[in-house]
Structure 1
């Protein structure tokens, strides 16, 4: 079975799109970073290193220091698919991040995005 194309894409190639999506809706790069750090457990320095090293999505999540235990509270539809119904573990992690960025761009409060 071949890997999905997104697995081999670099996180650094998609990250600017997350920022652009958020900023178009009046949100900030620091909020995007906070969401990614919350989800993955990376520090800001570790996140920047992942971007600089052009780590692909597969390694980005494999090397994540501590995936947030509350991430299973993320529900909803991304790209026409319910995130809670995704069976592939890596695709689920990627879609969790997509969903959180979507919520940010839709104006949801950070406390709710971070499932506090």
Structure 2
């Protein structure tokens, strides 16, 4: 088991917030991206943060967006579409979306609607 699987979402989330805010994006946009991927709403996100849910449990609880396989490209030196471990792929999907948000990509493109 990879050690990132046991990382708390509550530890990762503030890192994402810092990353996107440093690039002029908002926490609301970050939440929108995470909620699109996971099917969670604001209350679900806050609950996972408060409960220090591991990434493994976070994604076990998620209803992955059917368009998630449209997320492609390289993140952390790996092509997300080629990652074999389903949990690692979901984590990297989230990383990729956050990276796209921080890079200023249009929200419609991030959410694979355009």
Task: Give the TM-score of the pair, scaled to structure 1.
Answer: 0.96
CA deviations 1:3-60 (Å, max 9, x no partner) are 1010001010000000100001000000000000000001110110011000000000
Counterpart of 1:44? 42
SS of 1:69's partner is: coil
RMSD, aligned α-carbons: 0.5
Please give the alpha-carbon distance, in whole angstroms, between the structure 2 residues aligned to 1:54 and 1:28: 22
Counterpart of 1:6? 4
Counterpart of 1:110? 107
Please give the alpha-carbon distance, in whole angstroms, between the structure 2 residues aligned to 1:46 and 1:9: 18
The count of residues paired between Structure 1 and Structure 2 equals: 113
Shift of 1:74: 0.2
Counterpart of 1:98? 95
5+ unaligned residues in a row in structure 1: which ranges?
A: none
Counterpart of 1:35? 33
Please give the alpha-carbon distance, in whole angstroms, between the structure 1 residues aligned to 2:12 and 2:45: 13
Task: Give the TM-score of the pair, scaled to structure 2.
Answer: 0.98
5+ unaligned residues in a row in structure 2: which ranges?
A: none
1:73 to 70, 73, 81: 70
